[in-house]
Structure 1
Amino acid sequence: MKKIICLLIILSCIACNNESNNREFMYDSPPQGKYIEWFGNNSLANELAMIGMYHFMNAEQEKATAFFEEAVKYDSSMFAPHVCLAEMSVDGSEKQKYHIAEAKKNVADNNETSKIFVSILDLKPDGYWGYFDSSGSIKLWREMHELEPRGNFIQQFYSLNIKDNKESISTITKFIENAKKEGDRYEHFLNNLGYKYMADGNMEEAKSSFEKYIDAYKVGYNPYDSMGEYYLKQGDSTLAKQYYSMALEKYPFAKNASNVLGHLN
């Protein structure tokens, strides 16, 4: 938590310098297209939202929540962080209802892709994630992907929701190849790929995918959590403990790793 607070202070300082010295942020607005319109009118809010989005795609919900909550404080007109915050909130809670209402209100003047994205919150949240992988979500992700095939965030959840494992694996592999060619981030796809291989019974390729995930995203904590789950499914509790412990070393507030270690110990 202290690290997040320090990072937010640093970003605030950068924002001030950006106004006076025309310094650039890490994340630029996307090129012209029909992408989900994540950006609002505040540079710091945009930066916070993009950092939150990256953690969200890597299933690092603890960090994603902190960055998204700060983003909407700096720009109350944003909708996309509210969608993700609704996804991560307790189902039926007042907090979730608030984020759903804000997302729907704020998306009114945005493009079709953005409105489809928000409409996910009208589905029954019966998936592992909740809304994003719910039983009716594939239709919406497919519509968004058809509108903007280049959208990295859309690709993530479109490919995740393809029920046929082999088709999903093929699609994710293609997205990884394209991301590498374009110089875009692809680490999060490796995580999905590992789980799809596990679901398909190919444990060797699953392990390889998680190893590549760790190598590509060394600073993250979810790669180690995923490898811990791999070894847990293999019945190797010793190595599972080792990797879950590494996840906690990377980020002491990693909830899943902490919970699993509690059971294993």
Structure 2
Amino acid sequence: MKTSLFALALLLSSTCFTTAQDFYLPSSSKSKKAVAALHQAAELYGNVHFAQGNEKTAEALAEDPNLFMAHVNAVQFASKANKPAIIEKALAVDASNFNEAEKIMRGLMEKWAQDLDYLPTEEMKALVAAYPKTPQATEWASLHAFFTAKDVEAGLAYSQKLAKMSPKYGPNYNTMGYMYLKKGEMDKAKAALEKYIASAPKEPNAYDSMGEYYMNTKDYTKAAEYYDKAAKLGLADAKERADKAREMIKQE
């Protein structure tokens, strides 16, 4: 996984674990097609299919240009240079019928309109407080804490809470694994990434992340093995990482 891309690894979600209504934050949109595409985008983002996630976000906005949470997706996955224009579109959506989640995120958009480096710590706390039983709220808080605020401990606390709420939700274990890697707690990192693979055995990113774990532990043979699995499942740039791992084996 390219952790720099949260820019982030945000908005992970999947209907495999709970119903969409239970897992996702609510939307005021009346378009079922738009909301379905929004949820599909979240699942794609969660497993690091960023290009496909962006396509689904665009599809959601084509169905309902006023789908505010789709604008939120677009902002969070845009480059810093492109964010202002997208934020402007988000803030142009009529907020008169917004639910609490949309109000909180609109407040964040207003802050980002003034300062793109603003840290959304308080907004994420508010989101979790407003939706304590909605996994996506906790997931967003975890991702923003880890990737945006660089607060590993806060991110891990949210991630552990999410694991209890949605124990079969694979992408959360991926994020958790990277948090433990950051802390140098390698056994816990491995255990978390093993859960990601078990929860999402057909996702190439699960194996790519385990490959990165083994690169960190300098087990280059294992790293190459997992990168090869990721490449076989369709993650093209995993082959380059597998080749690098094999080069490291030669240097030992």
TM-score interval, smaller chain:
0.7 to 0.9
Matches within 5 A, 1:65-104: 65-93=54-82, 96-104=83-91
Shift of 1:52: 0.7
Is 142-151 or 152-161 further displaced after alignment?
Answer: 152-161
Q: Give the CA deviation at 1:201.
A: 1.4
Q: Counterparts of 1:153 and 1:258 in 2: how far apart (Å)?
A: 32
Give the distance between the partners of 1:221 and 1:140, measured in 2 at CA. 32
For the residue of structure 1 that corresponds to 2:62, the secondary structure is helix
Q: Which amino acid aligns with 2:102?
A: S
Indicate the residue corresponding to 1:173 in structure 2: 160
Pick closer, same or farther for the CA change 1:106–1:238 going to 2, 3 Å. Answer: farther
Alpha-carbon separation, structure 2, partners of 1:113 and 1:90: 24
- Report percent identity of matched pairs: 23
CA distance in 2, matches of 1:262, 1:87: 32
Structure 2 Cα separation of the partners of residues 247 and 28 of structure 1: 28
1:45-194 matched pairs, under 5 angstroms: 45-93=34-82, 96-106=83-93, 108-109=95-96, 110-121=98-109, 122-123=111-112, 124-125=115-116, 136-160=119-143, 161=145, 165=152, 168-180=155-167, 186-194=169-177
Unmatched segments (≥5 aa) in structure 1: 1-24, 127-134
Q: Which runs of 5+ in 2 are unaligned?
A: 1-14, 248-252
Aligned to 1:202: 185
Letter in 1 for 2:78: S
The residue identity in structure 2 corresponding to 1:120 is: L
Amino acid at match of 2:219: D
1:107 deviation in Å? Answer: 5.5
Cα distance in 2 for partners of 1:175, 1:63 equals 25
- Aligned residue in 1 for 2:11: none
**Amino acid in the other structure paired with 1:231:** Y
RMSD of the TM alignment (CA)?
A: 3.0
Deviation at 1:203, TM superposition (A): 0.3
- Inter-partner Cα distance in structure 1 for 2:106 and 2:46: 17
TM-score (norm. length: structure 2) = 0.74
Contact 2:135 2:165 (8 Å CA) reproduced = no
CA distance in 2, matches of 1:202, 1:107: 46
Write the distance in 1 (CA, Å) between the matches of 2:74 and 2:234: 20
Aligned CA distance change for structure 1 residues 167 and 90 (closer, same or farther; 3 Å): closer
Q: How many residues align?
A: 222
